[in-house]
Amino acid sequence: MRNQNEVWPAFIGSINGSKLIYLLKVVLLVFIPSLLLSVLIVLMGFENDADSPSSTIDLILAVVIFAPIVETIMLAIILFLLSYLRLSIIQSSLLCSLVVSGLHSLASPLWGLTVIWGFYVYSCVFLVWKKSFFKAFGIVTLGHMLQNGLACVLLIPD
């Protein structure tokens, strides 16, 4: 039988080292596949039909500050509800990422596809750090902010 606390990718479960290095690994683990998937979607001729904030400052406030805080609260609530099913970290994270992806798909179906991996990783991170809610919340929120910030740098016109 598998360990209930087993996580994939494995480094997510290793929380004893530098928090900064851990955070940077998480951000890259989320950002690079999401970016590649987004590029692939654009190359296939699909467009993201979600509304974008009208100004750069609105984009930063909405996507880099507000969304990660609200979405981490939602992620925590979903994971709390899933805890009653007594699933493994991987199972809970997969289900949570499907729910959050579905919610993003309400704005744009392709947007849901591009966030599913990130929310799987963030769910794993949250569950690994859950002994301290505030550390779990802080690491996931900060990672999400950094990841969205990197994405905004690519989206902001010259």
Q: Is residue 63 part of a domain?
A: yes
Q: Is residue 148 part of a domain?
A: yes
Tens-place pLDDT, residues 77-123: 999 999 999 999 999 999 999 999 999 888 888 888 889 999 999 99
Q: By the 8 A CB rule, do 13 and 128 touch?
A: yes
Structural domain of 99? 17-45+55-155
- 44, 23, 24: which is closest to 113 by C-alpha? 44
Q: Is residue 142 part of a domain?
A: yes
Q: Is residue 98 part of a domain?
A: yes
Q: By the 8 A CB rule, do 124 and 93 touch?
A: yes
pTM: 0.88
